[in-house]
């Protein structure tokens, strides 16, 4: 869910900047290598998984170092928020209109790092990278629609698996049906 929210917030920020600056030329989204086909999409999933694992370990090591420095989880989380906010502002924020989006993204990063851990960061890397590098279309007969459908199937599969695991293999409606 964080990967979907992250991509959505980025596009909302781009739209807000374009509307605020009254320059719709800012809304041009670059066409990337996603036109290369389904094999490229599968390779990108594997690449994003590697980047997610690397970034996940980086953030977990940073959290451990900050926990050792501050001795409290709250202080370490605040330090991670400050570090992520500084990096996001310096690297990705282009105007003051985008600043609230940057703060929301940094808060979500802090939550995911300090609360959910490595697996959530890896899944975020996969979902975020795939959604950011996919061309979406409503025309499913387009020749590049197969890569879009592959990515959407992958995201739905990950969401379904996460929901199943969160239930701890218990039935969803068993108690309600038994009590009726």
Distance CA 116, CA 59 (A): 12
Residue of 153, 155, 127 lying closest to 140 (CA atoms): 153
In tens, the pLDDT along 158-169 reads 888 888 877 777
Contact indicator for 125, 49 with CB cutoff of 8 Å: yes
Distance CA 128, CA 3 (A): 4
In tens, the pLDDT along 103-116 reads 998 898 888 888 88
pTM: 0.70
Residue of 114, 113, 115, 92 lying closest to 102 (CA atoms): 92
Higher local confidence (pLDDT), 16 or 101:
101
End-to-end CA gap in the chain: 33
């Amino acid at each position: 869910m964080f990967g979907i929210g992250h991509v959505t917030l980025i596009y909302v920020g781009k739209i807000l900047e374009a509307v605020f600056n009254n320059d719709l030329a800012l809304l041009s989204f670059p066409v990337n290598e996603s036109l290369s086909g389904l094999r490229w999409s599968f390779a990108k999933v594997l690449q994003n998984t590697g980047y997610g694992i690397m970034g996940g370990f980086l953030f977990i090591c940073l959290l451990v170092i900050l926990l050792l420095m501050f001795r409290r989880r709250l202080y370490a989380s605040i330090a991670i928020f400050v570090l992520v906010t500084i990096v996001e502002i310096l690297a990705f924020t282009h105007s003051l209109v985008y600043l609230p989006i940057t703060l929301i993204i940094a808060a979500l990063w802090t939550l995911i790092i300090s609360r959910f851990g490595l697996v959530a960061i890896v899944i975020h890397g996969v979902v975020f990278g795939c959604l950011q590098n996919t061309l979406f279309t409503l025309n499913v007969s387009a020749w590049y629609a197969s890569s879009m459908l592959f990515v959407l199937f992958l995201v739905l599969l990950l969401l379904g698996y996460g929901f199943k695991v969160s239930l701890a293999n218990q039935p969803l409606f068993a108690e309600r049906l038994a009590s009726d």
